[in-house]
Structure 1
């Protein structure tokens, strides 16, 4: 009797051990958003005193929040959280809707209305990601602009009150990346806040002085100790999946983003938005 009971409790313990990582990866961690703080200045440039730049990518808003995580209510709560941190500038490096134009996503206009509540005295800026192009790139850009979000597709604009330029590079994975065109209007030697969706554009862009950020990879969503990201979409190397990336003496930060893609799973790779200050 005791031996049978022992085997039964052993099976229960084994089942719990198997269930725990699944519950963590599919239920808890995808919803456990980190608000990270990273340095804005570097050895190459000194940012204007007190400048705070928030970066929030890969929202993937959806009507199927049990599967894709980011409902309207959840996105609105994240907008409130970012606004409460009082950034001077907000950068949105793409992928605002889940899916590719199917019924799991919100309408483009509903998405833009939610993100249009982001507030920053020196502007909210965006580039389009691959999912945005799959839905309707021009319509997405128009909807964001209607809510005060400046979309910079291979374009640049001077940051109000500073000798700093905000630069948006188009998405590489959908064939829209033109780094030279994006930086053409920036005066030589000027400091820049460069954003792109797919980090691979960093490999071909000219050297800049300032911050460079990207999204798209989600950090792989699953990152195993000693191995790193299991899957990295696009052409960027696996080492560029998350965090600070160094290439030819230059640095870029790749954010893990807020939402999920393909599967609603994250393991050892929390969703995040980042404040550079």
Structure 2
């Protein structure tokens, strides 16, 4: 028995080492770059959208020149843009965090980022809100650069979707103190349906009841999601249960995306990056 145990010992250690190496490769190299193009319902029991309307959402791009570490370089972002355009959405929502990092250390300029995303096309408009990273870089400059590329930036503001009795609403980022949900919805006529986007999902906790679609990003789904438990870490003030997917609260329903990029560490496990088509 002792001889057999001694023989098995090295094999067990080798198998454990191989397993850990495979897990590291998957978590760092493969899954962060394995983008899902998800399809989710646009309507609900409480609201039926205009027939055939397709709304794409893509958040947390975190563009960088350090793509080996931060994942989303210009070429990867361009491929995602092409994929979204090929799906022919009517509307595109961009809920923030367009650049990685918090300053010029990433060496990817705000204007270059806006030029990449400016290639997104949708006949009824491309709309954005700013995330915490955008404010850390330069929120006003980011908004100006995106606007120059034809992307409508809605910071606590709303606009009527062309040809529909449907309003696009942008709520500012909670984690940087820019969230004003009441102000964002103030211009929406009573009873009108809305497409509401925010960066940090915590604003969902206090926003007025709406009829339509609500989306958020920021959490990355935790980047690591433990089976049976969920996200290990959720940034901001939103509860851990709001890290990813459909969330219900006080009569409202929201979809929180896992986003496209990574933050802090270039890892993902059981939480693929994604863009979403609601239809």
Q: How much does 1:18 deviate?
A: 1.2
| Cα distance in 2 for residues equivalent to 1:131 and 1:230 | 21
Q: Is there any run of 5+ residues in structure 1 with no aligned partner, and where?
A: none
Structure 1 residue aligned with 2:80, among 78, 88, 91? 78
- Aligned residue for 1:96? 98
| Cα distance in 2 for residues equivalent to 1:211 and 1:38 | 11
1:68-89: CA deviations, max 9, x gaps?
Answer: 0000000000000000000000
- Aligned residue for 1:270? 272
- Aligned residue for 2:30? 28
- Aligned residue for 2:205? 203
- Aligned residue for 1:41? 43
1:145-156 to structure 2, matched below 5 A, reads 145-156=147-158
Question: How many aligned positions are there?
Answer: 277
Q: How much does 1:7 deviate?
A: 5.0
1:225 aligns with 2:224: no
Structure 2 residue aligned with 1:188, among 184, 187, 190? 190
TM-score, scaled to structure 1: 0.97
Q: How much does 1:21 deviate?
A: 1.1
Alignment RMSD (CA, Å): 1.4
1:139-184: CA deviations, max 9, x gaps?
Answer: 0000000000000000000000100000000000000000011001
Q: How much does 1:226 deviate?
A: 1.2
1:243-262: CA deviations, max 9, x gaps?
Answer: 00011222100000000000
| Cα distance in 2 for residues equivalent to 1:168 and 1:203 | 15
TM-score, scaled to structure 2: 0.96
| Cα distance in 2 for residues equivalent to 1:56 and 1:227 | 25
- Aligned residue for 1:137? 139
Q: Is there any run of 5+ residues in structure 2 with no aligned partner, and where?
A: none
Asked whether the 8 Å contact 1:245–1:253 carries over to 2, the reply is yes
Asked whether the 8 Å contact 1:61–1:105 carries over to 2, the reply is no
Asked whether the 8 Å contact 2:209–2:251 carries over to 1, the reply is no
- Once superposed, which parts of structure 1, at least 4 consecutive aligned residues long, lie more than 3 Å away? 2-11
| Cα distance in 2 for residues equivalent to 1:258 and 1:237 | 21
Q: How much does 1:6 deviate?
A: 5.8
